[in-house]
Copies of this chain bind each other. A is one copy, B any other.
């Protein structure tokens, strides 16, 4: 029960797991290279056999968090028996669901969220080896939702290119405001209402 599988074997995976634990509360700053190695019961320098430096480990953790995020975002899509029957409305509400899922994850796991996409402002200089966001699972969900909106006819194809950015901007900004910003500490119900309003606003704004 102590540590059977590795000591040999899959360090690196173990370090990433430790990184997930550490960043879950405390965000990127809580990921210490020494602390992570300590948790898996290994010398600090052992990490350097698998990661160039602390930032590389952070990047690997970020990639895992993105997957967790996409999983959680796929879940609450259980608005199966929707109220409005039209496929039009369904396409629009799918985009809304994706956006709300993004925000929901951010609020439930603020530490992970801070790690997910970008180098924490000020930690990495400018050029970091983070996973390209074009392949990030949550981003792909957004792209698909927008695409089905245009095939459903609720989004003008001429407005489609680049529509990702207003959408992502709004939900990401809202999450930031709600976690570190002035909306922090608001009752969950009010937060939810504001989130719905924000998402609705940006969706109709993109549609016009």
Contact = CB atoms under 8 A, between A and B. Distances in A.
A26 B180 CA distance: 20
Contacts of A182: 132-134, 139
Interface in A74-91: none
A168 interface: yes
B118 A114 contact: no
Contacts of A194: 162, 165-166
Contacts of A122: 23, 26-30, 111, 114-115, 120, 123
Interface stretch (A6-14, A37-45, A197-205): A197-205
Contacts of A206: 201, 205
Interface residues of A, number: 53
A46 interface: no
Contacts of A208: 201, 204
Contacts of A27: 121-122
Contacts of A133: 181-182
B118 A176 contact: yes
A45 to B, nearest CB: 24
Given A166-B197, A201-B206, A203-B205, A177 B181 contact: no
Contact of A168 (B119, B177, B197): B177
A118 B180 contact: yes
B176 A174 contact: no
Contacts of A28: 121-122
Interface in A165-208: 165-166, 168-174, 176-177, 179-184, 194, 197-198, 200-206, 208
